[in-house]
Structure 1
């Protein structure tokens, strides 16, 4: 069973700039730069037939290229901080693409995404890191601004069952047409 999700890839030059932020945070398991991405829709573990249906349905998405900008760093937390990420400035084109993916996946009979779409690029998973350590790290590095980049395609990625962070494999790529 493949574990699938749709995503926007991060260009190598932007990924390299993000990777320079790594380090200096106890309990951080840093994501490799080549695995940075912006998840549009997590699909999960599905059978091969459903995976083929997903791939086929995504091939009918007709959108134009658009620009994405990363602006600032932040942390997801619940009972404690668990993920460090770069914020993605939401744009109408990005939000519409994500919503279309959500509709496609639900039409195929898969359950709706339980979380609200928060565009981001995960940089590290945190374990045993205190909120004060994260706050201090963010105070020193959190105001990062990176140049915008054009999104000219989205991808269907697969991952092995793990605690996250890759490696990810591009199963299909879907160009956005001008």
Structure 2
């Protein structure tokens, strides 16, 4: 059986992806060596599963559906810029997440519990809601990137709002031109 690289995500509306892409364009003005997430691939990751036998997709979807049943939709706002693990050694450029974080954390915890039942162990990291804009490839010109991010972050409050009404099981196919994401299944967060 062939393997599929899978993850659960909240996909974003196109207008919000355009705003985030505009933010990336401004950060690209620096000479920093960053691999930026393509506009069409911007999303909020809930749970990365990794390489999985294709025959398990139905089982994964069924267990996740049971896990999120009755959770109900909620709203999140994207705001602020930051770096993981921190500004002294940036590896990931991110946008922060605000709003109904209790409900978002509940979604994450339910998904973690459901996927653990299927043998997907967690990475041990604390849940830190964020949206990845890019990954820093090399340390040169990071000072300029940090400075530009600070300037931009001071200009805005909320970048946009996400109405979370569903989660998607995504396949990620790695190609020479970057990852190609495909929605395999959508689970609606009915009340």
TM-score (norm 2): 0.84
Q: Quick check: 1:118 aligned with 2:128?
A: yes
Corresponding residue number in structure 1 for 2:168: 155
Q: Structure 2 matches for 1:34-53, cutoff 5 A?
A: 34-53=40-59
Structure 1 or 2: more strand by fraction: 2
C-alpha separation between the residues in 1 aligned to 2:90 and 2:51? 26
- Contact 1:28/1:129 (8 A) holds in 2: no
Over aligned residues, Cα RMSD in angstroms? 2.2
Contact 1:65 1:177 in 2 (8 A): yes
User: 2:95 aligned to 77, 82, 86, which one?
Assistant: 86
SS in 2 for 1:21: helix
| CA distances 1:4-33 after superposition (whole Å, capped 9, x unpaired) | 111111111111111111221321222111
* Number of the residue aligned with 2:187: 174
Runs of 4+ aligned structure 1 residues displaced above 6 Å come to none
The match for 2:5 is 3
Structure 2 unaligned segments of length 5 or more: list them: none
Tell me the SS of whatever aligns to 1:81.
coil
Q: Could you say which residue in structure 2 is the equivalent of 1:141? A: 152
Aligned counterparts of 1:92 and 1:81: Cα–Cα separation in 2 = 27
2:69 is the alignment partner of 1:69 = no
Conserved? CA contact 1:37–1:121, under 8 Å: yes
Residue in structure 1 matched with residue 29 of structure 2 by the alignment = 24
Q: Which has the higher helix share?
A: 2
Aligned length: 178
Between structure 1 and structure 2, the one with the greater Rg is: 2
Asked if the contact 1:30–1:125 (Cα under 8 Å) also holds between the matched residues in 2, the reply is: yes
Q: Distance in 1 between matches of 2:37 and 2:109?
A: 26
Cα displacement string for residues 47-66 of structure 1 (whole angstroms, at most 9, x for unaligned residues) = 12333321121122212110
On the 8 A contact 2:174/2:180 being kept in 1, the answer is no
Q: What SS does the aligned partner of 1:138 have? A: helix
